Chain A
Amino acid sequence: MSILYGILKFLHWPLWNWYLYGYPAGLWIMYFVDAIIEVVLVFAVAMLVVVILVYVFRKYMADIQNRIGPNRLGPWGSLQLIADVFKLIQKQDIIPKNADRIAFRVAPYIIFTPVILGMLVIPFGNASILQLMVVNFKYTLLFLVAAMVISPLGEVIGGLSSHNKFALYGALRSAAQDIGYEVPMMISVLSLIILAGSYSINDIVNAQKHIPFVIPEILGFIVFFLAMIAKQSIPPFDLPESGSELVSGFSTEYSGMRYGIIYMGNFGFMALASVVVATLYFGGPVGPFFNSVLWIAVKSAVFMIIFLLSWIALGRVRVDQFLNMGWKYLLPISILNLLISSLIAIYFGGAF
């Protein structure tokens, strides 16, 4: 609510003093308008990051693979994605005859939802007096985790509603993969909460003033990082899509802008995942020498590059191998990590 407040104060227009029948109607209007402004801003920033990320991905991948990559539209091909989006919008919107039409249409948006929801609660640091965090309340970490869980749901719905066997298999794999990594992920998040003593991401960031959590929580970090790769379904864990096996997995029947939204949602989630990892385990905006939004940008950029590298360089694991990894290795490791962080919290609780 701070942005609108600043503007109105600058204009000498004290809307917050307007009362209607004794109710603070001016304040409500401000809350409402402000919420819209901030969500739109976050959406715009997220889309900008996605555009940059897709461009970097294409160029970086091309560079590794001895190709040139997009180089026709705009300087160094930077407008390629925008052209692609226009192309996708122009395409015919095909929905399979026997598909569940409502579910089929809703699924891409469900995949895209966590990108915006998750970005709302990330503290991006302070710009002078303004705190760059849209929503701040006591349980932001829980909210973040709950938001991130949504996107596989979209994959399952999209796959089941497509009326296609490959899509069905993609959806089933997505469901199987979910329960494979989500339990260990939750447990490693739990150990963060124990260590910081709070459910608030803000507190978790502040607790990393001296030592980033990656040092006491190295096991949890590994688990969380692998879970993040699996959540984005990028190689080596791109089982729900698995291009060469299931044609395109759950998104087989999607075309045009619906596919575009899924694509953007994947890249948006990559941006979100790298920001989340940077925030939870590397202190987010808190950094050596100074605290600034610059730090979180640098840290998340590093993770984006690592995600892209994993995409470019690695092959795909098999479903049973992934589930083996999730249940036999990640889960025990995360429980061990929970134990370690509990001990740390008991004996060195004041250190963080």
Chain B
Amino acid sequence: MEKVVEVNFGPQHPSTHGVLRIKVKLDGEIIVDAQPVIGYLHRNAEKLSEMGLYPKALIYMDRLDYVAALNMELGYILSVEKLMDVETPERAQWIRMMMVELNRIASHLVWLGTHGLDMGMLTPFFYCWRERERVLRIFDEITGSRLLYNYFSIGGVYSDLTPKGIDMIKEFVNTFPDRLEEIQSIFQKSYIYAKRTKGVGKLTLDDAIAYGVTGPLLRASGLKWDLRKNQPYLFYEKVNFDVPVYTNGDVYSRFLVRVEEMRQSTKIVKQVLEKLPDGDFYNKKYAKPMLVRMKGSGESYVPTESPKGEFGVYVIGDGSTIPYRVRIRSPSFANLQAVSIMLKGYKIADLTATVSSVDPVFGEVDR
């Protein structure tokens, strides 16, 4: 009699965060083999981007990691600006930095809430959503939309900060750390949560590097690698923040890393509010009518630290108004491949914990 049972987790399953399918071979409750199967949300983002003008590809970037859309836009915009040697005013760069950090907080909050659901905790989900809602309201006020912004433009941003928006951000950064403390304590003071996550889904540093894992997973495995520090873009060298690093490489360390990152992001937003210079919020040379005529040639790649890890867009221009090649380096895609080694030998219950600790967003994995 065959002892090993093969079970399909997903693509429709409450804890796969979208359309991930994991082919799991189970011996009783123990996972013998787990293979993630991806591609259910493939939307051809790269090819579509190569079919339109440079600024038009931005909306496809929004839809990659839809819970951190501004981070995705940033990766593309920085690459395109490098390709075309576009100067960006200082104020625009500071605004970008602030918005990206706010979006990082929103993204991590989504992760924290759904991670709680995966661990069977219903309540923290709503607390996280309450805080995320405040970030989304800020985005609604400043960019005009709540989820997919289309906010960064080549040479700046599409709209300036409003006074009301600045007030909302100030109120948010002043109250958020306390609330985060509260949410964190729901997890951290729970004996059950600690028991479920400590030592689960272990990823050694060697494996992490071999699989190209980046972001919070890599930092939880013990390598202090944050592109904001190691290869600063925007003005990250001018602000003061720490990079949390834990060495256990388990789900619990990933939780700690992400929570600490939210705190550091709040710190960055606070500093940006103090240092925000006056001036243009976009390069007057590249006003909206100009954008459609922009030509690029050569190639460029600017890696950025998205909430999930290293995100960058490799753009090749052939001198026309349409990019020749747009290649997206998406962090979750690489991170998700490591799931199969993270899961081997653990139990079914650890599968949900581990997969959710990777924080995959399928718009970005399948592109």
Contact = CB atoms under 8 A, between A and B. Distances in A.
Interface of A: 61, 64-67, 165-166, 169, 235-236, 238, 242-247, 312-321
B347 interface: yes
Interface of B: 5, 7, 13-15, 29, 116-123, 125-127, 130, 186, 190, 192-193, 195-196, 347-352
Contacts of B125: 65
Contact of A316 (B5, B130, B349): B349
B123 A245 contact: no
Given A315-B190, A317-B196, 4 more contacts: A66-B130, A244-B119, A244-B120, A319-B347
A243 B118 CA distance: 8
B126 A244 contact: no
Contacts of B5: 165
B20 to A, nearest CB: 13
Main secondary structure of the interface of A (DSSP, over half): loop
Contacts of A317: 192, 195-196
A305 to B, nearest CB: 15
Contacts of B122: 61, 65, 235, 312
Main secondary structure of the interface of B (DSSP, over half): helix
A319 B29 contact: yes
Given A238-B120, A314-B121, A66 B349 contact: no
B196 A318 contact: yes
A65 B119 CA distance: 17
A324 B122 CA distance: 25
Given A65-B126, A317-B196, A319-B347, A244 B7 contact: no
Nearest to A324: B195
A319 B121 contact: no
A326 to B, nearest CB: 15
A246 B9 CA distance: 9
A244 B13 CA distance: 8
Contact of A235 (B120, B186, B348, B351): B120
Given A67-B126, A245-B349, A320-B347, A166 B120 contact: no
B7 A165 contact: yes
A121 to B, nearest CB: 33
Nearest to B119: A315
A165 B24 CA distance: 12
A85 to B, nearest CB: 23
B192 A244 contact: no
Nearest to B192: A315
A159 to B, nearest CB: 14
B260 to A, nearest CB: 21
A316 B119 contact: yes
A321 B118 CA distance: 17
B192 A314 contact: yes
Contacts of B118: 244
